[in-house]
Structure 1
């Protein structure tokens, strides 16, 4: 009887644990169609992908204030927006962290950071952590390139092959992928491994 009770107790604990865990296993894969979203930008305005009438696609990057990998990539993210926004592929940055689990990642902190680094792109707050699980994002930074035609995912992974040191970059995954899309060519690498901090949840 005691063994049965232990089994039941373990099963209940498992159900409770999984109920409150945000799984990313069923996130978008390359070729999937994404849903639009509406998230608050650091300027206080709500932003959706549908707002970008002239865009050809989007460089969606899950990033944050506190992860050293994200901080090491901030200038590169600014550079991506500067290079590709005018060509139809703007950067859309999203902070997926729960601020209660990651001090310094609250909305007010995001406003300060965006101003300090002169972000030229929207920096959106995933309040309630409703968007990042749909994408299947697991790290900061984690990139998803989306083709506006069909809202299809074309690339998932890292910005380049050097997670921290920009001087060590020898392969620019995101630039190569966007350049291929703009040229109407096939992307050679559609997936790479995102290296960074785990997304923080309570």
Structure 2
């Protein structure tokens, strides 16, 4: 009996510690309203890219994505469409590959370049080689989107989450979260849904 009680106590302690650890992880990264730090990451063309390079931008659609995640692949055409629509309006897509390439060799820079050429990416596809940028944002999935608005105070996070509400089929999408967010910012209106749950593969560390 005493042994059972002791084992139960140990199990409860483990669960409590696990829950504590999960809560710590859940609280990391930018929240809506935070100022995002600039970064300098290598693009597939070998050049370093920073947000500060975009002098005329009104904001950014920062998208953490990769080659190897099926969810990310299903969203590629929609990410391309976002850039085609909003880059001319001042909100370009900045795609960042956050995975550890030792774990996912298919996400290494040469493979990123091949994928970008095959799909015709017309936006930067950057590699977070040291995995220092995605934790600051609090990205956990691929894809995971952060809409930033450029202000006098810096690049302010205005939306975090999914691109839309149907990763399987673009034709069945009912709510285009990122488009609604950017449209609201362009129209100087309040974003109705500022945060949604990102659906995708976990970022590999």
Taking the aligned partners of 1:24 and 1:127, their CA distance within structure 2 comes to: 23
Structure 2, unmatched stretches of 5+, are 1-9, 11-16
Task: Please report the TM-score for the alignment, with normalisation by the length of structure 2.
Answer: 0.86
User: More helix by proportion, 1 or 2?
Assistant: 2
What is the RMSD computed on CA atoms of the aligned residues? 2.0
Alignment of 1:62-141 (within 5 A): 62-141=64-143
Aligned residues: 186
Aligned to 1:148: 150
User: What is the CA distance between 1:24 and its match in structure 2?
Assistant: 6.4
Alignment of 1:1-202 (within 5 A): 23=25, 25-149=27-151, 150-201=154-205
Residues 57, 145 of structure 1: 8 Å contact kept: yes
Q: Give the 3 Å change call, closer, same or farther, for CA 179–39 of structure 1 in structure 2.
A: same
Taking the aligned partners of 1:103 and 1:35, their CA distance within structure 2 comes to: 28
Taking the aligned partners of 1:147 and 1:164, their CA distance within structure 2 comes to: 29
User: What is the CA distance between 1:164 and its match in structure 2?
Assistant: 2.3
Taking the aligned partners of 1:34 and 1:121, their CA distance within structure 2 comes to: 20
Task: Please report the TM-score for the alignment, with normalisation by the length of structure 1.
Answer: 0.88
Structure 1, unmatched stretches of 5+, are 1-6, 8-13
Taking the aligned partners of 1:164 and 1:126, their CA distance within structure 2 comes to: 27
